[in-house]
Structure 1
Amino acid sequence: MKLREQMPELTGATAWLNGEVTKSELVGEKPTLIHFWSVSCHLCKEAMPDVNNFRDQYKDELNVMAVHMPRSEDDVDLGNIKEVAAEHDITQPIFVDSDLKLTDAFDNQYVPAYYVFDKDGQLRHFQAGGSGMKMLEKRVNRVLDEMRK
């Protein structure tokens, strides 16, 4: 995805965990952080406490949603996804993308990957990899500050 592009529709999930959300529920009132992760991704698991901290710290100002993107056949076991999500306290809605429909809509190739959308659903920041949480926090705060004005 390119900056300023609109958030894709959230369709094609093979399952939803922790409740289902739609694009129209995420766009309009507050910015959204969508993060891609995988059960086989070590960096994803290392970064999850930071993502969960974001979710909890900004719960009133920021929507947070996870997308589980499989990297191999072993990553599509729903029981395993549920188990790892519970182990890592992923309580936000999880779009299970075993058919890679949303992954393709985002043109995403990485886990972990982070997409920050403003309240109007425009992509404002993208980053991939396990480090850079300070940068992600800066970008989230920039979008939140714009909204607070």
Structure 2
Amino acid sequence: MQIYDILPDLSKIKALPGSNRSLLLSSGRPVLVIFWSVSCSSCSNFLKQLAEVPEIKSKRVVPILIHIYLDREQVSLSEIKNKLNQLHFDAVSLDDIDDRLAAVFQFRYVPALYLFDKQERLRFKQSGKSSTNLIEQRLKRLLNEK
């Protein structure tokens, strides 16, 4: 996925139990897509930090968490749900069990993050261990765009 590409249709991807799909109905806000895995410890830490970012916490951004399976790991839905409950992250939570979205987004490492503007065009992406400071700056800039 390249900068200015359009957000793919996520409506056909399986939602995880407890997912807040109602967030998808709120158009006109930036969308933050995050790929993560239960078995990725840096993903858990990163998601905990992201959950505290003011722009995400205040629902000015639509967060979409997409669980992927690393190395064909066997993870149950209850394990994923338990991890999401521990993270306290109010988001749309999807399960990419067939790697359809992983193929579209073409990332190499998790966590992988994609920030789309209000018109659903990709404006920023990063994968691997990262800092929330840069993401906060990007979010503020996107939210202040006309």
Q: Smaller-chain TM-score range? A: 0.7 to 0.9
Q: CA RMSD in A?
A: 2.0
Q: Deviations over 1:21-80 (max 9, x none)?
A: 697x36x41111111110000110111221111221x41x21111111111333542111
What residue is the counterpart of 2:84 in the other structure? 85
Give the whole-Å Cα distance in 2 for the aligned partners of 1:29 and 1:3: 19
Find runs of 4+ consecutive structure 1 residues off by over 6 angstroms.
Answer: none
SS in 1 for 2:10: coil
Label 1:22 to 1:13 Cα distance change in 2 as closer, same or farther (>3 A): farther
TM-score, normalised on structure 1? Answer: 0.85
Aligned-residue offset at 1:115: 0.6
2:70 aligns to what?
71
8 Å Cα contact 2:107-2:127 kept in structure 1: no
> What letter matches 1:141 in structure 2?
K
Structure 2 vs 1, CA of residues 64 and 112 (structure 1 numbering), >3 Å: closer, same or farther? same
Q: Which residue of 2 aligns with 1:20?
A: 21
Query: Unmatched 5+ residue regions in structure 2?
Result: none
Q: Paired residue for 2:4?
A: 4
Percent of residue pairs identical: 29
Deviations 1:63-117 (A, max 9, x none): 1111111113335421111111111213311111111111112122321011110
1:146 is aligned to 145
Q: Which residue of 1 aligns with 2:100?
A: 101
Size of the aligned set, in residue pairs, is 143
In structure 1, distance between residues paired with 2:91 and 2:75: 19
Q: SS of the counterpart of 1:10?
A: coil
CA 1:112–1:129: 2 relative to 1, 3 Å: same
